[in-house]
Amino acid sequence: MCEAVRAIKRQMPPPEPNALADRLTRLIETAGPIPLAQFMAEANAHYYATRDPLGAEGDFITAPEISQMFGELVGLWLADLWSRAGKPSTAHYVELGPGRGTLAEDALRAMRAARFEPPIHLVETSGTLRKSQAGRLPTARWHDDIDSLPETGPLLVVANEFFDALPIRQIQRTEKGWFELMIGRKEGSFVPLVSGGPFDELIPEPLADAPIGSIVETSPAVESAALALAGRISAQGGAALVIDYGYQGPAVGDTLQAIADHGFADVFADPGECDLTAHVDFSVLARIGRAAGLRVYRPVAQGEWLEALGIGARTMALTKAAPERRDELVAARKRLTDRSEMGSIFKVMALVSTDWPDPAAF
């Protein structure tokens, strides 16, 4: 080997050891392939526990990190609903998967201006992100899941890019019926295998005859979170605002993606080192909400929703107060609302308690 090549080799860091990959490998070698949902749950728990993935330096950017206007308009939406519900003094602000706490900070500032200052409850499993949230929201209380939220008083719940991080199952049609995708090991790599099943009875009627190879996704984790949330809002009053990328099922399609460094990565290459995410089936949230007796407001495109709430006027007001920020504010509005950016792929849905008023902008 020539000296130059040796020098280059010496400078290259050795591949990082991945303790989670080692543990999953041992598990698969001893017990056989594991369900995709288990792989995704363990990978994301490790991923979010070990870093702050948001922002330019991280792996991806979310709407509240693009502009304060996003959280402010969410806050005004909540304050307006609360106000028309008779300003109940016992209402709580709840956020699922609050990231850095930016959305909550912006929303609560806008709500304070409308004289609505509810106690803050954050459902967050990552210790690292809880620390950033505590820096912005020192009076918040943290919860591991929805079950420990207060049992009295209306809940005003926000979930931006929360449901897409929850684990999914994938069921694929083969010649022999519908089988679950499991994760096994082959030649030193994680590989998807069509092995558990058959699960033909899980497939919604309109999809039963989908072509061989089609994938149907389900998420027990999304369903159980939605069930817990809808039950509480139905019993205690309030509403949930869900913002995410998604579709109206039932539908076939493989929406599982790995995101790292603002681009797509290999889903199976490095578990726990990239964000695993799937599109949210809004029809599941709607069905669970209706079954709990809530009113469901259609998923509307994020761009339309923000325009209806007055992001144009908000951009102008902020520009007037700080003319030097004009370009930044105009660009942020475009990024959040334009159809070619986040405006139409992201959808907004509301689930509202029957004795609460109609929400704005649906």
Q: Does 99 bind ligand SAH (CB under 6 A)?
A: yes
- Measured in whole angstroms, the distance separating CA 94 from the mean position of its chain's CA atoms is 15
What residues numbered 166-185 form the site for ligand SAH, per CB under 6 A? 166
Query: CB nearest ligand SAH: which residue?
Result: 97
Give the binding range for ligand SAH (CB under 6 A) out of 15-23, 80-88, 125-133, 234-242.
125-133
Asked whether the beta carbons of 248 and 279 are under 8 A apart, the reply is no
Q: Does 302 bind ligand SAH (CB under 6 A)?
A: no
Q: Choose, by CB under 6 A, the member of 20, 36, 37, 62 that binds ligand SAH.
A: 62
Q: How far is the CB of 5 from ligand SAH (least distance, A)?
A: 42
In our burial notation (b when 16+ CB lie closer than 10 A, e otherwise), range 271-301 reads bbbbbbbbbbbbbbbbbbbeebebbbbebbb
* Minimum CB distance to ligand SAH smaller for 162 or for 245: 162
Q: How far is the CB of 252 from ligand SAH (least distance, A)?
A: 25
Distance CA 135, CA 123 (A): 16
202 SS3 class: helix
Q: Does 282 bind ligand SAH (CB under 6 A)?
A: no
Here the contacts of 12-17 (C-beta below 8 Å, separation 24 or greater) are 16/273
118 SS3 class: coil
Distance CA 214, CA 173 (A): 5
Q: Does 165 bind ligand SAH (CB under 6 A)?
A: yes
Q: Choose, by CB under 6 A, the member of 103, 182, 332, 350 that binds ligand SAH.
A: 103
Give the binding range for ligand SAH (CB under 6 A) out of 73-81, 154-162, 174-182, 184-192.
154-162
Question: How do 257-260 and 263-265 pair as beta strands?
Answer: antiparallel
Q: Does 160 bind ligand SAH (CB under 6 A)?
A: yes
DSSP string for 2-17? -HHHHHHHHHSPPPPP
Q: How far is the CB of 71 from ligand SAH (least distance, A)?
A: 9
Q: Choose, by CB under 6 A, the member of 33, 71, 75, 98 that binds ligand SAH.
A: 98
Q: How far is the CB of 124 from ligand SAH (least distance, A)?
A: 5
Q: Does 124 bind ligand SAH (CB under 6 A)?
A: yes
Q: How far is the CB of 132 from ligand SAH (least distance, A)?
A: 9
Total residues contacting ligand SAH by CB under 6 A comes to: 20
Residue where the block lists tokens 């083969």: 174
169 SS3 class: strand
Q: Does 246 bind ligand SAH (CB under 6 A)?
A: no
Give the binding range for ligand SAH (CB under 6 A) out of 31-39, 79-87, 110-118, 162-170.
162-170
Q: Does 129 bind ligand SAH (CB under 6 A)?
A: yes
Q: Does 146 bind ligand SAH (CB under 6 A)?
A: no
Helices (H) and strands (E) in the chain, counts: 12, 16
Residue where the block lists tokens 């809940």: 155
**Taking Cα atoms as reference points, which of 94, 81, 104 lies closest to residue 352?**
81
Q: Does 116 bind ligand SAH (CB under 6 A)?
A: no
Q: How many CA atoms lie within 13 A of 36 on its CB side?
A: 31
Q: How far is the CB of 290 from ligand SAH (least distance, A)?
A: 24
Distance CA 10, CA 6 (A): 6
136 SS3 class: helix
Residues that bind ligand SAH (CB under 6 A): 44, 48, 54, 62, 64-65, 97-99, 103, 123-126, 129, 160-162, 165-166
